[in-house]
Structure 1
């Protein structure tokens, strides 16, 4: 037997409810920081991009750069969590996030801002993956639902307060402070984790870090995501650049598979994909990422450029989405912990999310705000029932020694879907807006070329008729984006319906990691 299968032969002693809550306090703060990284900036992006003289493509890249870094490094964080001290890793991710935030606040150009967002993404990737992994180390799957509900609540609070804080900050102090507002929470999270997070001792063993696999995985994913993000804007889909990026990305990932099949401590254990639950959850997470990130990232722009709202007002408009997410996250977590069954929650959540996406595909610049808010609430209910519980289903199906790698797989593909969704939908939005503006201006007797990737407009500087054309163009284009997301949402419903349900176990460890007599008791 390899070391990885013999490092734990006794059950992990269960923690009391109070001990778990104390440990969760720092983790919830860390998750709050991770969510603020994106939500606090969303309403400020139109102002940021206009101030730095960026384009619609730049608007998309500010978001994609963070998702790209998050996606490429999440598997690495997950595997490191199986090998090293999880508490130190969480704190390290917080330090990386703080460094990226400080650089972003000092950005003098779009290029510098995007680079700083990459560093932020490295830290957020660690926080997103590690919080779920640490919870899996201290709470058995049967009880994990209600604690995941607390994490979902933190997710919801950050999503609510982020746009609101960001809107107020950009309207009063300026957009640079949007990157600094989360720093006190990051410092507090670091201190609280140091004081309250006491993980069970594990048998330490000599490990070998899979540097080759980590490099190939990160490089391959980065090349493919860069291609998806740049193709159609910086170069044509059928071009030499496309051939180089796709060939390089695919070759790197093929080599990664070869390396991972041979090394003793692979970054992504390939045997995980033989698990039907993991494979289907990965596919579902990819589709959820497209629906969640790809849809919601453009709503702040929709409210500001189609309805003329201020950043603060646009932040208030995020409340329906987040309240739906909050209610569904807590309610579904408690139900799963009570029954030990999770598949019906996933299927219902996926169906409701698909319904919300379909309803949002009907909006345009003339849609009443209360209608948009109602459809956002429906989508939030679906996402809230899905995102935490997909991870729970995967964690329940693997050995405790593989929880880090398996959990990070779900997070990786969710953010990969988000990165691909944001990139493709951003390109589609740019072209759709340009075509709509050209057609609208032609009706006014002004002929312009339908050229995509135009600069983010300042509505206050436009004359009345042109202002109405631009607002209508962004409104119609946003509804079109949600229509493009409908297939991904429907795919999620199909995939979760195919998952085979296994009742949540009552121990932190899998049965085959326990002594034979104990395994017989818990199974």
Structure 2
């Protein structure tokens, strides 16, 4: 029998703190660790491998995301979600112990940390997917916007708090507490959700598509490695045999994956969900949203620190306008979707506003004041607010309730893949433009020397090591290179409103529909 909102709204409110705490853990982790990395490298060594501390986490998260979604659909969301929280906690504890006397001392500590970060990433892959899918189980699409607006606000605040908490821990305690802090927070989320979470019961055949899981893991690993290594200073050229081999492996995996999924009784990624136009369009939007947004936004702190002279901690505070505008718009849009049942216009508006923000950021130069950058990123944040949760609601409303986990994990997966490639490709664009600018100003030899002071992982102190007589030219070259990244990102951002314009308004369900047909809202769609 279809359940309605009034019967479950109290349960949603009761379990929401535990779910939001789990989401906070997933969002905080990378921000905190990034701030602590210099201290980690100084103690454990392995400078040439330090990027793998991030890569292994991203790899574990991305690979496990579709698998967590499907496991939740098969075995029930609660047990699978609690398992992911537990794995994240164990991975965090092991990361904090890496290179300690308990595990043999600093020698080999970096290799341990990389391996343990992969474990942590596997758990992290289930956190965000689990939270979104659980909300989908408890709340019909018509009512879901208001809760996902709250979730978007928590995500934004976590992104701000991450660098601040990481900086405080690094300056005032052992770097290991950047990982140990997850233990009490994760434990609280685990206990809260175990005691409070009550989900609708529904039966499915428990058959794991192991061939599909293995093949998609191989393919995703190849894609993530291409995005991580391609064109990077510590990676390989785009035309190298390593990158071409990984590309071939990804293509072969996809070619093998499709027939496997067609034959599987319970496929990891049911291909029939892509038969729905709205679901496919939101998947495309997710890729280009991640591509244009996360790829470009990685350069805002670099601009604030090296061009505008902000400290690492202050650059986190300077992102407040973007996070606040994103939070406010997300909440307002969520309430509007809940009240009216209308959603089609918001991804289109969001795509256009995001493009406006990226265009404004592309106009910046070395003389742009901080307040003006704040206005520009606030516009970008508003675009994010229109898009982030609305796209998930549309994707979830496009599938049967039994595929809720797949819809949630697919939305997260495509955005993650787009972001990974965005960072890689925009990094190559940035390095190429910076090298050209420096060569034009100072000549090839000076450009090579100055270029060594500037990578995607540069710190604010880097510019201070440059002689004063060339610093102005260096900063101008740097500002122009970063502006070019935002200009290029516009080409990818155009796809977001264009794809969204083809979304068909399908009435949002007002029932959960676990026991039968989903109940659509009883309002006409003509106004859309």
- Range of TM-score over shorter length: 0.7 to 0.9
Q: Aligned in 2, Cα 1:20/1:512: closer, same or farther, shift over 3 Å?
A: closer
| Alpha-carbon distance, 1:71 to partner | 2.3
1:62-461 alignment, distance < 5 Å: 62-105=53-96, 106=98, 113-173=113-173, 175-203=175-203, 205-233=204-232, 234-437=235-438, 439-442=440-443, 446=446, 448=448, 456=458, 458-459=461-462, 460-461=464-465
SS in 2 for 1:498: coil
Q: Aligned in 2, Cα 1:228/1:448: closer, same or farther, shift over 3 Å?
A: closer
Q: Distance in 2 between matches of 1:435 and 1:181?
A: 44
Q: Aligned in 2, Cα 1:271/1:137: closer, same or farther, shift over 3 Å?
A: same
Instruction: Out of 494-503 and 34-43, give the one that drifted further.
Output: 34-43
**Contact 2:200/2:514 (8 A) holds in 1:** no
| Alpha-carbon distance, 1:504 to partner | 1.1
Q: Distance in 1 between matches of 2:299 and 2:42?
A: 16
Find the counterpart in structure 2 of residue 24 from structure 1.
Answer: 16
TM-score by length of 1: 0.88
Q: Distance in 2 between matches of 1:308 and 1:111?
A: 34
SS in 1 for 2:72: helix
Q: Aligned in 2, Cα 1:249/1:513: closer, same or farther, shift over 3 Å?
A: same
Aligned: 1:40 with 2:32 = yes
5+ residue gaps, structure 1: 1-9
CA RMSD of aligned residues (A): 3.0
**Deviation string for 1:465-519 (max 9, x for gaps)?**
45545544443322222122111211101011111111212111289636xxx89
| Alpha-carbon distance, 1:279 to partner | 0.4
| Alpha-carbon distance, 1:160 to partner | 2.3
SS in 2 for 1:261: helix
Q: Aligned in 2, Cα 1:446/1:386: closer, same or farther, shift over 3 Å?
A: closer
Q: Aligned in 2, Cα 1:440/1:53: closer, same or farther, shift over 3 Å?
A: farther
**Contact 2:509/2:520 (8 A) holds in 1:** no
5+ residue gaps, structure 2: 100-105
Q: Distance in 2 between matches of 1:13 and 1:504?
A: 13
Q: Aligned in 2, Cα 1:511/1:195: closer, same or farther, shift over 3 Å?
A: closer
| Alpha-carbon distance, 1:58 to partner | 5.7
TM-score by length of 2: 0.87
| Alpha-carbon distance, 1:407 to partner | 1.8
